[in-house]
A and B are shown apart, each in its own frame.
Chain A
Amino acid sequence: MSVQPSEGGSVAVGGGGGALSQEPGGTQVARARGSVGPFFQRFGVLIAFAAVVVFFSLERGSSFPTLANLRAVFSGAAPLAVLAAVLTVPMMMGDFDLSVGFNAQVLGAVVVTLMAFDRVAAGTSIILTIVIGSLIGLLLGSLIAWSKVSAFVITLGAGIVLEGVELHLTSGNTIFSGLSKSYVKLAQHKLLSFTWPVWIALLVCVVLWYVTRHTVLGRRMAAVGGNQEAARLSGINVEMMRTAGFIIVGIGAAIAGIIITSQAASSYPDSASGLLIPAYAGVFLGAAVLRPGEFHIWGTLIGVMFMSIIQNGLTLMDYSSSTTDVIQGGIFIAAVLTSRIGRQDR
């Protein structure tokens, strides 16, 4: 199935792009500079983001704009950021992965049960989990790419399967005994005052940004996303590229599952399965930032941070979680709409 955000900046005839293209040396070849749209399309979401930050800072001056709170927000958002970032890759090629929440859930259960029931060392468990994650991605991806059935449908089914597998592994229980201390510590180690998960998430984003922007693999994926048939006629193995996208999601789901279980020092039901919707909210917000109409990693990260900050601010203002949901969803829609101001559809 094809999922492209509608394209913005259609009337930029050498106009707005000009200033940006002065950048020396001509790096970032794939980047379509001329396509950047007018101001609101590119910065609308960022302006909304800034407004929200200012609002919370004024409303909760003593608790919101503090380093401690920032640490908490970042640590809490880390697994979501990882999931949203990896989901961005198949989205660039028009592929949805609806199984990602359950995937992270299962892989979290896998890493925990390996340690708790099978007495496998923490390091080995982590490596095994990441390998299993990439194998799930390989299986799903090749099934989707070669069967030509839409990813939406296959990953929907896969999500149900994975949920069953997780129940089988954990019997629906919270598993907390038997975890090695070093595993639990993982999420608590700090570097430059932020916890490891924050840095891991950032690292995942940097790697994905580099791969999607500056490598042969990324360029080929962009080509598949831009026009599958033209990519194939240019000699690209489209099926392989799409499969690679799902392998990346599988690895990301493993990393997210590990972060979540390490942070919670346990594997508990529904710890990750609910992250699907917020992750996609981040991805779509990201497609309304800076390079409107395109899915890209930094946009996704900004989208995730935006959603997390809103949640955090509202919680600090003592809103119930039901109210938080309503406001969060409303702001999400408003932010995406902002990026449409001044846009000329043809």
Chain B
Amino acid sequence: MSTTDSPPDDTNSSGDLDAPLLEVRHLSKVFPGVVALDDVSMNVRAGEVHGLVGENGAGKSTLLKIVSGLYVADGGELLWNGEVVRFRAPPDAVKRGIELIPQELSLAPSLSAAENIMMGIYPAHLGRVRWREVKREAETVAATIHLEADLSRKASTLSPAEQRLVMIARALARKARLVIMDEPSVSLSEVEVDALKAVVHRLRERRVTVIYVSHRLDEVLELTDRVTVMKDGRVISTDQTSAVSKPVLIERIIGRSYGEQFPSRRALESTSPLLSVRNLSGGRVRDVSFALHPGEILGISGLVGSGRTEIVRMVFGADPLESGEIEVDGRPVKLTHPRHAIRRGLSLLPEDRRGQGAIVNMSIAANVSLPVLRRFAMRGTGMIHERVEARAVRERIDRLNLSTPNVQRPLKFLSGGNQQKALVAKWEMSDSRVFMFDEPTAGVDVGAKQEIYSLIAQLGARGAGVILISSELEEVVGLCHRVLVMREGRCVGELAGEAISEAAILHLCYEG
């Protein structure tokens, strides 16, 4: 097979963009206790890049899962090329050229990139796979999206960005006509996002229709032809992207007017540092020094893989450091396990919330109280005073405006933003004074992002120190008093106050 020529376009020979390739009419879907989709109608035109935005829980995923055959709708109909279709399972959708690229990277880690791209459509002769053809065809597809990685490498050795591209290549290899990308830019650095954007442009040139789902509105505004906003299971609007602006989209998404995005920065008093790190080395990180003062929000910027996460993990005692000194409140400390760091008032909210930050099947209360469980236990026996614990947890999370009827519910039932709040409550409970946030807004919707920003600002206002790692430069610029910029494991620059700007940070990232 060959994928170099454009996918066939049997409906419009003239190549006009107006004929809907996909149309949904009056779709509804109910799960026990929630109406996920409520009379949803929209269409996607052949050849366009269609943005789909909305808060988590707005119904985007449910809609996409119906379109790609993972769910069956309770009511309404689905039209493909003007024909009513019924998808009972994903293969029904794949057969027609609909490919969903999920948010999570989902490659077979021990197979090569080429094998992943060609998975399920291996060219074979008499049951014997022709590996040379597999490789050649994979390379042809990869070339169309400028995926330059060595395709014989195992998927697990590729960077997240490369893995994302392999997933896109896989969809193209199967002659996708509609590619649905769910949060494709999560965990990609700025440069990698640029590469992703280029791929989307290339898909459009090749008349592959794209549905682009993202919380990053700048990307949506830049890439899409039209954009649809969903809220509470309904479609709020569909517009030409050129006719809307970011504030307009945000207001529609959160359903109320949108104030100042970032809380104002507080002035710092000069005090002795809470945390000082000198000549820290380990892993990729080489010779990094910095200090963090009470009330200060310190950003650590840099491309993904520049050593940002390694720094905070070492400071937290989660990874061993090769050399360097750490002082908390002016006293040198040796932190060889997170529990030592926790005892000194440090906390880490890791990037991968589900994988490292939270125990999603445990209750909210159990997650929040975990580091300080002893406090609620009877001395000597370890019996937990569960009522006292629940009350204390309730008090903490109320203060953070985390509304939940029941602190005994598993954490997984909370939205991403609320999970993040619960984790902040957990560290406040353990009297943390240095909060290290690694990508706190990854995969969090617009409304919740704002809440996380004000949460971070509040922590500062209360005299805690905050370290903020974020790939969204806007956040770093909007929140931080000072920014360290990392490149290849070294700190290549420090910006403070007025000098902090996206341009200045990017300049240091690439050339500093």
Contacts and interface: CB of A to CB of B under 8 A. Distances in A.
A19 interface: no
Contacts of B356: 227, 229-230, 233
B1 interface: no
Given A13-B413, A34-B413, A223-B359, A27 B387 contact: yes
A11 B34 CA distance: 10
Nearest to B341: A235
A174 B390 CA distance: 55
Contact of B407 (A26, A217, A232): A26
Interface string A1-33: 000000100011111110001000111111111
Contact of A236 (B339, B348, B386, B408): B339
Interface string A143-155: 0000000000000
Interface stretch (B141-149, B375-383, B464-472, B481-489): B375-383
A136 B386 CA distance: 34
A230 B339 contact: no
Contacts of B360: 226-227
Nearest to B384: A214
B52 to A, nearest CB: 20
Interface of B: prevailing SS = mixed
Given A35-B361, A227-B360, A216 B32 contact: no
Contact of A214 (B33, B34, B339, B383): B383
Interface stretch (B121-129, B188-196, B362-370, B445-453): B362-370
A237 interface: yes
B371 A15 contact: no
Contacts of B70: 346
A231 interface: yes
Interface string B333-370: 00001110011000010100001111111110110011
Interface string A218-254: 0110110011011111111100000000000000000
A321 interface: no
A298 B279 CA distance: 53
B357 A29 contact: no
Contacts, number: 133
A13 B346 CA distance: 35
B265 interface: no
A71 to B, nearest CB: 34
A29 B31 contact: no
Contact of A219 (B316, B350, B370): B370
A216 B384 contact: yes
Contact of B350 (A15, A214, A233): A233
A26 B316 contact: no
A220 B342 CA distance: 16
B410 interface: yes
B382 A215 contact: yes
Contacts of A229: 355-356
Interface residues of B, number: 46
A230 B348 CA distance: 10
Contacts of A29: 363, 365-366, 369, 384, 386, 389-390, 407-408
A260 to B, nearest CB: 31
A235 B390 contact: no
A7 B361 contact: yes
B374 interface: yes
Contact of B32 (A16, A26, A217): A16
A13 B406 contact: no
Interface residues of A, number: 40
B328 interface: no
A184 to B, nearest CB: 35
A300 to B, nearest CB: 19
Contacts of B371: 234-235
B361 A32 contact: yes
A236 B377 contact: no
Contact of B348 (A21, A32, A34, A233): A233
Interface in A26-53: 26-35
A214 B386 contact: yes
A7 B360 CA distance: 12
A11 B406 CA distance: 18
Contacts of B381: 215
Nearest to A30: B366
Contacts of B406: 21, 33
Nearest to A10: B412
Contacts of A220: 370, 373
Q: Which of A25, A33, A234 has the most CB of B within 10 A?
A: A234
B318 interface: yes
B89 to A, nearest CB: 12
B384 A32 contact: no
Contact of B370 (A26, A33, A223): A223
Interface in A191-219: 214-217, 219
Given A21-B408, A29-B407, 5 more contacts: A13-B33, A27-B386, A29-B369, A227-B358, A234-B338
Interface of A: 7, 11-17, 21, 25-35, 214-217, 219-220, 222-223, 226-227, 229-237, 346
10 contacts: A15-B32, A29-B365, A29-B386, A29-B390, A215-B382, A220-B373, A233-B348, A235-B370, A235-B371, A346-B70
A-B CB proximity, top 6 nearest: A235-B339, A15-B32, A226-B359, A32-B410, A215-B382, A216-B382
